[in-house]
């Protein structure tokens, strides 16, 4: 895996750092207080590559609580709420798009 500090980061708008929680795989977001939250509304928003690189490096150092952190685009709606910026992130946030078979 490439170190976050070595990655070429291109920021074209508001973005957040997201990952999956290590012990259950739940989608999580890096917060302003440098913790993790399952609520996208709590995510720290970065707007430039240096800010994104710094937040990503901090997130990558937390190898106990999160796995696979990366920068994800977001959009601020008319009310100022943070919403996923692309289909992939919408699916990650909302869950699977098909009905799963019942568990035995």
Query: What are the residue ranges spanned by the domains of the chain?
Result: 16-94
What is the pTM (predicted TM-score) of this model? Answer: 0.83
Which residues, including other chains, have CB under 8 Å from residue 97's CB and lie 6 or more apart? 91
Q: What is the Rg, in whole angstroms, of the alpha carbon atoms belonging to the chain? A: 14
Secondary structure of residue 55 in the 3-state scheme: helix
Secondary structure of residue 12 in the 3-state scheme: coil
Say what the pLDDT of residue 67 is.
92
Do 59 and 66 contact (CB within 8 A), yes or no?
Answer: yes
DSSP H or E run through 60 = helix 49-61
pLDDT in tens, 10-60: 888 999 999 999 988 899 999 999 999 999 999 999 999 999 999 999 999
């Amino acid at each position: 895996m490439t170190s976050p500090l070595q990655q070429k980061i291109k920021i074209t708008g508001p973005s957040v750092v997201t990952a999956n929680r290590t012990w259950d795989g739940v989608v999580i977001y890096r917060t302003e207080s440098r913790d993790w939250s399952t609520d996208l509304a709590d995510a720290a928003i970065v707007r430039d590559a240096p800010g994104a690189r710094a937040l990503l490096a901090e997130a990558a150092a937390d190898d106990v609580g999160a796995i696979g952190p990366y920068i994800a685009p977001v959009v601020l709606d008319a009310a100022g709420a943070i919403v996923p910026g692309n289909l992939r992130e919408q699916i990650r946030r909302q869950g699977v798009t098909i009905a799963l078979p019942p568990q035995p």
